[in-house]
Amino acid sequence: EVQLVESGGDLVKPGGSLRLSCAASGFTFSNAWMSWVRQAPGKGLEWVGRIKSKTEGGTIDYAAPVKGRFTISRDDSKNTLYLQMNSLKTEDTAVYYCTVPIMGAPCWGQGTLVTVSS
């Protein structure tokens, strides 16, 4: 069974930093293209970024609102995906989900809440 468990969400002040983790199991993590998606309170869903597998180049792409502030990385030895968030803004307040396509079907974790407020 595929499992994605996000952690690291917290209350942080504007301008601060936070690192989220996503622990994966039930599939071959090293071969997977992993994404982060977020959802602001009461709003729709927004793709944040994606990292390809190392064997396919490990390319990382970001959505425009987070480019230059957020960094996605992966540790295949730990089956873990990361999202380093710097220079946080109030508009980054959201539940952050990690997702992965398994045989064409997107699988999602339960999410972790990040609140950016003074």
Chosen residue from 35, 80, 93, 114 binding other proteins by CB under 8 A: 35
Chosen residue from 44, 55, 56, 77 binding other proteins by CB under 8 A: 44
Indicate whether 47 belongs to the interface with other proteins (CB under 8 A). yes
Shortest reach from residue 68's CB to other proteins, in Å: 15
CA torsion 10-13-17-21 (nearest 10°) is: 10
Indicate whether 112 belongs to the interface with other proteins (CB under 8 A). no
Residues numbered 81 to 110 that lie near other proteins (CB under 8 A) are 95, 97, 101, 104-110
SS3 state at 15: coil
Return the percent helix, strand and coil in the chain, to nearest 5.
Answer: 10, 50, 40
Distance CA 49, CA 62 (A): 4
Chain centroid, CA 116 distance in Å = 16
Query: Where on the chain is the footprint of other proteins (CB under 8 A)?
Result: 35, 37, 44-47, 50, 61, 63-64, 95, 97, 101, 104-111
